[in-house]
Amino acid sequence: MLILLRYLITIIGISLYWHQVFADPQQDVKDYQQYYQQRFPNLSLQDYANGAYALDEKAKLNWLDIEEFPPYEQEIDQGSELFNTPFANGQSYASCFENGGIAIAQNYPYWDKKQQSVITLPLAINQCREKNQEPVLGYDSFDMLALTAYLAYTARGQTINIQIPEQDTKALAAYQQGKDYYFTRRGQLNFSCSHCHYQYPGYKLRSELLSPALGHTSHWPVYRAKWGGLGSLHRRFRGCHRQIKAKPEPQQCENYRNLEYFLSHMSNGIKLNGPSYRK
C-alpha cells in the first residue's frame, strides 16, 4: 500500500516536473497575476508594490506616514553623490548603463547574452567598478546600498518590464531554475518560498502578516529598523532562509539571481516604488 502510494506520488511529481519544464513565462505571469487577483479581489495590480501593507489598512496608514519623511532620504542623496563622482580613471558609473543609469531599474535583472547569466542591478554596479579598475563593493556596504537606493529612486513610477528571451534556451533555463527554487521545500522546517508567499499570503505567521510574492521586487533596497538601515533583496532572501532553518546562500549567487529573475518577471506591470520602508 505504502509502496503504491510512493509510486503514485513519484508519478505525480514527475508529471508536475514535466509540466514545469515546458512552462511558458508569458503564461506564468498571466496565471500568477490571475491567481492573486482571485485571491484578493479588492487589490489592484499596483497595490502589490506595497507588500503586506496592501492587506492591512491600519498598518498601511502608519507606513504611509513613515514614507512621508523616510529614514532613507540621506542615503538617496549620498547615493547620488557617489554615482556622480568619477572613478580614478576619469570614467563614470553613467558610462556603464543605458540612459546614464537614470530610470532603468525596471529592466533589472536581465539576461545577459554575452555572460550567459542573469545580471541584477547590484551586480551590474560591481561589474562597472571592475571594468574601471575599482574594487568591488560588499552587498551590505553603505556605498552599495546608497547607490542602489539612488538608482531605485530615479526609477520610481517606472513599470517593471523583465524580458525572458525565450529563443535562448539558457535564459529560459535560468528562469525555470528560479521558479523551481521558489517552489522547492528546504530547511529543517521544510518550507518553500511559495508556502508563505503564494499559498498563505494574508494569513498570519504569529503576528506577521504574510505578503504576496507578487510585487516582492518593486521596492528595493528596503529600510528596516531591525536592520538599522537599508538592506538588499538578497539579504531578505537570506533572512527568510534562516527563518525556516535553511542555510542562507551568499548574496548574488546564481540561485538567488535566478530566483530574482523569476520573481521580478512575475511582477511585470507593477510600478517601482523603491527604496521603501518595511517593518
Partner 1 sequence: MPHFILVLILFLSTSIQASADDAIAMGKQLAFSQNKGNCLACHQIADGLMPGNIGPPLVRMKQRFQTKQQLQQQIWDASIKNPNTIMPPFGRNHLLTEQEIQMIVEFLWSL
Give catalytic residues, as residue numbers: 240
**CB closer to ligand HEC, 56 vs 134:** 56
Distance CA 144, CA 126 (A): 9
For residue 231, what are the β-bridge partners? 222
Nearest residue relative to ligand HEC (C-beta): 51
Q: Is 208 in the site for ligand HEC (CB under 6 A)?
A: yes
Q: Is 235 in the site for ligand HEC (CB under 6 A)?
A: no
Q: Is 60 in the site for ligand HEC (CB under 6 A)?
A: no
SS3 content of the chain, % helix, strand, coil (to 5): 55, 10, 40
Q: Is 279 exposed, middle or buried (0-12, 13-18, 19+ CB in 10 A)?
A: middle
Distance CA 183, CA 160 (A): 22
Q: Give kind and range of the element (H or E) at residue 240.
A: helix 233-243
x/- track of binding to partner 1 for residues 3-32 (CB under 8 A)? ------x-----------------------
What cell does 153 get? 529612486
Beta-strand pair 222-224/229-231: antiparallel
Residue 159 DSSP SS3: strand
Q: Is 195 in the site for ligand HEC (CB under 6 A)?
A: yes
**CB closer to partner 1, 42 vs 188:** 188
How many residues lie near partner 1 (CB under 8 A)?
Answer: 15
Q: Which residues make up the interface to partner 1 (CB under 8 A)?
A: 9, 188-191, 195-196, 199-200, 203-208
> What residues make contact with ligand HEC under the rule CB under 6 A?
51-52, 191, 193, 195-197, 205, 208, 210-211, 216, 222, 233, 236-237, 240-241, 243-244, 259, 278
